[in-house]
Structure 1
Amino acid sequence: MNEAYTEVDGGDLDILIIGDHASARVPVDVELGIDPALLNDHIAIDIGVAEVSTLLARQLGCTAILGGVSRLVIDLNREDDAPGLLPVMSDGHAIPGNRHADLAARMIRFHHPYHHRIGRLLDDMGSPFILSVHSFTPRLASDPDQQRPWDIGILYNEDDRAARIAIPQLEDAGLKVGDQQPYSGKLLNATMNRHAEDNGIPYLGVEMRQDLVGDPEGQARFARILGPIVLECRNQLA
Structure 2
Amino acid sequence: MAKGVANELLGLNDPAPFGLFNAAGASPFLLIGDHAGAAIPEALGDLGLCDADRRRHIAIDIGVHGLGHRLAERLDAPFLHQIYSRLVIDCNRNPARDDAIPVVSDGSRISGNEGLNEAARAVRVAAIHAPYHQAISERIDARRAAGRDTILLSLHSFTPVMGGIARPWEVGVLHWLGCTHFAHAMLAALRDTAALTVGDNVPYAMDATDFTVPFHAFPRDLAYAEIEVRQDLITSVEGRMLWADHLAQAAKDALQRIS
Same fold? TM cut 0.5: yes
Cα distance, 1:130–1:234 mapped onto 2, change above 3 Å: farther
Identity of aligned residues (%): 34
2:192 is the alignment partner of 1:172: yes
- Aligned pair count reads 235
Q: TM-score, normalised to structure 1's length?
A: 0.93
SS for the counterpart of 1:7 is: strand
Question: What code does the residue aligned with 2:34 have?
Answer: D
Q: Say whether residues 1:16 and 2:37 are aligned partners.
A: no
Q: Does 1:161 align with 2:175?
A: no
3-state SS of paired residue (1:46): coil
Indicate whether 1:190 and 2:211 are aligned. Answer: yes
Match of 2:80 in 1: 65
Find the structure with the greater CA-based Rg.
Answer: 2
Task: Tell me the TM-score normalized by structure 2.
Answer: 0.86
- Runs of 4+ with deviation above 4 angstroms: 235-238
Q: Does 1:76 align with 2:91?
A: yes
The structural deviation recorded for 1:14 is 2.7
Q: Aligned residue for 2:130?
A: 112
Unmatched segments (≥5 aa) in structure 2: 1-13
CA contact (8 A) 2:189 2:254 kept: no
Amino acid at match of 1:151: E
* Aligned pair partner of 1:121 in 139, 157, 160: 139
- Out of 54, 64, 88, the residue aligned to residue 49 of structure 1 is 64
Output the CA distance in 2 between the equivalents of 1:188 and 1:133. 16
Secondary structure of residue in 2 paired with 1:198: coil
Q: Is the 8 A contact 1:43 1:90 kept in 2?
A: yes
Distance 1:128 1:202 in 2: 7
**1:25, 1:68 within 8 Å by CA — same for their partners in 2?**
yes
Give the Cα–Cα distance (whole angstroms) in 1 for the partners of residues 84 and 257 of structure 2: 34
2:243 equivalent to 1:222: yes
On the 8 A contact 1:5/1:65 being kept in 2, the answer is yes
Contact 1:156 1:189 in 2 (8 A): no
| Superposition CA RMSD, Å | 1.7
